[in-house]
Structure formats: C-alpha cells, structure tokens
A and B are shown apart, each in its own frame.
Chain A
C-alpha cells in the first residue's frame, strides 16, 4: 500500500508570495493533519481535516489555511509569506483521525521543505 505523498518536496519562495502544498493520504484514510517543523519550535500542529471539514486548528495565524477534497486529498495554503514560515511542512493521515474515542495512528509523509527568501 502506498504511503502518504506530498508535493512538491522542495519549494523556494520570496516574502509576500503565497504557496500551496499538496498531500495525498494513504488509500482509505479519511483524516489529514498538517504540522510545521522548525529547529526552534519542533513539530507544531496546524490543522486537521476529516471528510472535507476542518475539525481542529492549532495556534497559527489566519495566513495558514487548508482544505480537503472528496477523495481525501488535502492542500494547505500560506499567504503573504514571511521569513519565519521557512520550515518542513508535514502531512499525516489516519483512518478516522483524532476525534472522540479513535485510537488511530497518524502516518506521516516525507514533508515539503519550504524556504522563504
């Protein structure tokens, strides 16, 4: 079974631009979560989508947004890029996500390395 895939793997943008990252979950998984990883802050939760609905959101500004499609693929968008947005953006998928009594495991993709100049 194919794992979580993320595109592109590397991206270079300049301040003020916007960027869209894509994530395809493991087949059959309906939940997609996004995380930002930086050397100073570690892995931080951005948001989770389940069945095209945002179910949870971390403490990030509104410049960070996402969506999920009917085939469970997800995209995240960052507008008005800042230097501090340079990070590894990770996507994780699970069968049912993290709600309620779910004991699902999240499986991570390889990430998209975003560099903002």
Chain B
C-alpha cells in the first residue's frame, strides 16, 4: 500500500531560523511528488512538482529536493507569513485511460515567530 509520512508534525521557528521539512514515501511507480501549502480555512496552494531523484526546485525562500525515498522542503530565513501547514503528496501511476490519484501525507504545521 502506498504510504506518505511527513515529519515533524509541527515545527516552531524563529524568524530567520532556517530548517527542513521531510516527506518520506513508499510507493510503486512514482509519477510525481507535489508540495502544497495550506492556510487555515483555505484549500491547498500548489508550490512544487518533482519527478525524478536529484531534482531540485526553488521559489523565494523555499527549496524542494527529491531522492528515491524522500523529499525535503528547505525553508531559508523564514518569515511569519510562511506560517502554514505544508502538505506533501505523491502521484502513482495510472493506465492511459484511467486515472491515478494523489496520496497525501498528514502535513507539517509550521509556525514562524517574529
């Protein structure tokens, strides 16, 4: 069964204190790993897609990396507005005429204090 595990469950940082969030996965036929950010009461907001081990993507203070077993979301010099729940999801393969699905981790709740 496909599994996605995120750690830590919650993380408190001081403004400017860099850290990393982890997403480990056990799936067969990975077709993409996605990072989303979710603010309270809102839908997930797309951040990154990674497809193959060694791939890296950056956006402002965020950098996502992918290995064969896990992905990291590095946050450099975070600001209070980076506070949110960060969700990792994996897409496993589907046949051409049938869909696959996204399997989500439980998320990491990040709080950045000023």
A residues with a Cβ closer than 8 A to B are 4, 31, 33, 35, 42-45, 48, 50, 55-56, 58, 90, 92, 97-101, 103, 105-111, 113
Among the 9-residue stretches B12-20, B42-50, B63-71, the one with 4 or more Cβ atoms under 8 Å from chain A is: B42-50
**Interfacial chain A residues near B91, Cβ < 8 Å:** 98
**Interfacial chain A residues near B49, Cβ < 8 Å:** 103, 105
The 8 Å CB contact of A45, one of B44, B87, B101, is B101
Question: Which residue of the partner chain A has the closest CB to B94?
Answer: A99
The answer on a CB contact under 8 Å between A109 and B34 is no
Question: Which residue of the partner chain B has the closest CB to A55?
Answer: B99
**Interfacial chain A residues near B41, Cβ < 8 Å:** 110, 113
Nearest CB on A from B32, distance (A): 6
Q: Inter-chain contact count A-B, CB under 8 Å?
A: 77
- Apart from A55-B98, A58-B101, A103-B51, 20 more pairs, CB < 8 Å: A31-B99, A33-B101, A35-B104, A43-B104, A45-B102, A48-B101, A56-B94, A56-B99, A56-B101, A90-B43, A99-B97, A100-B94, A100-B96, A106-B34, A108-B46, A109-B43, A110-B41, A110-B42, A111-B42, A111-B43
Main secondary structure of the interface of A (DSSP, over half): strand
B residues with a Cβ closer than 8 A to A are 31-32, 34, 36, 41-46, 49, 51, 87, 89, 91, 94-107
Q: Please, how many angstroms separate the alpha-carbon atoms of A97 and B44 in the complex?
A: 17
The answer on a CB contact under 8 Å between B44 and A108 is yes
**Interfacial chain A residues near B44, Cβ < 8 Å:** 43, 90, 108
11 residue pairs of the A-B complex, CB under 8 angstroms, read: A31-B99, A42-B104, A42-B106, A56-B100, A98-B94, A98-B99, A99-B97, A99-B99, A101-B96, A103-B31, A113-B41
**Interfacial chain B residues near A43, Cβ < 8 Å:** 44, 87, 89, 102, 104
The answer on a CB contact under 8 Å between A99 and B98 is yes
The answer on a CB contact under 8 Å between B43 and A98 is no
Nearest CB on A from B58, distance (A): 17
Question: Which residue of the partner chain A has the closest CB to B4?
Answer: A42
**Interfacial chain B residues near A44, Cβ < 8 Å:** 104
